[in-house]
């Protein structure tokens, strides 16, 4: 008997959507995925909360990922229904691609039209500051099977463009909030490089992604962006810059990531409320 026998079995998208629809018949206009230590939209009304283990059949194992899906209405506009995933699954936890993309595929199956992704990322662009929010306008996939097979060829290509109407809307909302209140830090824009992890990048790897014209690096988000391609769901992503790599500064760890995520979460929460309430206002 192998150890695989004792591993929790993930549910199918049909089972996930079935569990949700047994509790609520409302389909959200948007879903939000919150990365490591990122907090936002904590006060949804008429909320239904599903623990990951109950909903997906498995629970997250990473600190800073609460592991729940909340479906509720935006206090600023009760017509707006939002699904908020607090945490996600990662390849470095030992999950395969199907598990890492299970939530995204379930959102597609459920009929959610917009997916907002967030993550905690290390800044490799030296002009960035800790706590910046970076709208992902392009990415490099350094974690999928395609990368494992065709890595050298992929490095010769430009980053994959993912700027769309959703990301443009986020940028516009950030500009508007910054004009109204200078304490709301202007949004950054850039290219995200996704590694498998869980180890943090070496200085040699950081130099590599800088030469590849990347601005931030992390361990998630690209699987979701690849999954929604050519589906009925559109997606855009925001990185919370939790540290900025420097040759003369020691590298931080997961605790520093969580602390920096808390500080930036307030701005992210403000951004999402402004964006969702305005977009769907009746």
Q: Is the omega angle on the peptide bond into residue 198 within 30 degrees of 0, that is, cis?
A: yes
Which residue among 30, 85, 103, 120 is the active-site one? 120
3-state helix, strand, coil in the chain (%, to 5): 35, 25, 40
Asked whether the beta carbons of 54 and 31 are under 8 A apart, the reply is no
CA dihedral 159, 40, 65, 219 (to 10 degrees): 10
To the query of whether residue 166 is one of the catalytic residues in this protein, the response is: no
The maximal CA–CA distance of the chain, rounded, in angstroms, is 63
Asked whether the beta carbons of 118 and 225 are under 8 A apart, the reply is no
Which residue among 119, 243, 261, 265 is the active-site one? 243
Handedness of CA 170, 176, 177, 182 (dihedral sign): positive
To the query of whether residue 120 is one of the catalytic residues in this protein, the response is: yes
Which residue among 39, 48, 66, 93 is the active-site one? 93
Which residue among 48, 178, 254, 280 is the active-site one? 254
The pair of structure tokens assigned to 187 is 């949004």
Which residue among 30, 31, 36, 192 is the active-site one? 36
To the query of whether residue 48 is one of the catalytic residues in this protein, the response is: no
Strand partners, 72: 82
Which residue among 30, 68, 83, 90 is the active-site one? 90
Which residue among 30, 31, 40, 65 is the active-site one? 65
To the query of whether residue 176 is one of the catalytic residues in this protein, the response is: no
**Cβ neighbourhood burial of 230 (10 Å; 0-12, 13-18, 19+):** exposed
Give the orientation angle of helix 165-180 with respect to helix 254-279, to 10 degrees.
90
To the query of whether residue 65 is one of the catalytic residues in this protein, the response is: yes
Which residue among 219, 235, 237, 260 is the active-site one? 219
To the query of whether residue 36 is one of the catalytic residues in this protein, the response is: yes
Give the orientation angle of helix 13-21 with respect to helix 102-110, to 10 degrees.
60
To the query of whether residue 220 is one of the catalytic residues in this protein, the response is: yes
Which residue among 125, 220, 261, 265 is the active-site one? 220
Which run of H or E residues covers position 52? helix 52-56
What is the Cα 171 distance to its own chain's centre?
16
Q: Which residues are catalytic?
A: 36, 65, 90, 92-93, 120, 219-220, 243, 254
């Amino acid at each position: 008997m192998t150890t695989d026998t004792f591993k929790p079995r993930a549910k199918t998208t049909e089972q996930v959507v079935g569990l949700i629809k047994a509790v609520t018949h409302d389909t959200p206009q948007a879903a939000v995925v919150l990365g490591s230590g990122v907090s936002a939209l904590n006060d949804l009304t008429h909320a239904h909360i599903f623990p990951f283990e109950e909903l997906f059949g498995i629970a997250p194992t990473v600190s800073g990922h609460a592991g729940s899906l909340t479906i509720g209405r935006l206090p600023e506009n009760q017509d707006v229904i939002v699904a908020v995933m607090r945490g996600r699954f990662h390849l470095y936890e030992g999950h395969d691609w199907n598990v890492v993309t299970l939530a995204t595929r379930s959102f597609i199956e459920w009929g959610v039209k917009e997916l907002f992704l967030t993550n905690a990322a290390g800044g490799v662009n030296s002009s960035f500051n800790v706590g910046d929010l970076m709208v992902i306008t392009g990415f490099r996939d350094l974690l999928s099977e395609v990368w494992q097979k065709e890595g050298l060829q992929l490095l010769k290509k430009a980053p994959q463009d993912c700027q769309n109407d959703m990301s443009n809307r986020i940028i516009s909302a950030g500009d508007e909030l910054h004009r109204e209140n200078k304490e709301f830090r202007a949004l950054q824009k850039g290219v995200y490089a996704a590694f498998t992890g869980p180890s943090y990048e070496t200085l040699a790897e950081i130099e590599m992604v800088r030469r590849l014209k990347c601005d931030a690096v992390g361990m998630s988000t690209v699987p979701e962006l690849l999954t929604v391609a050519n589906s009925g769901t559109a997606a855009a992503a925001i990185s919370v810059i939790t540290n900025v790599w420097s040759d003369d500064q020691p590298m931080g760890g997961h605790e520093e990531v969580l602390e920096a995520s808390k500080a930036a979460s307030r701005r992210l929460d403000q951004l999402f409320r402004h964006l969702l309430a305005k977009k769907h206002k009746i």
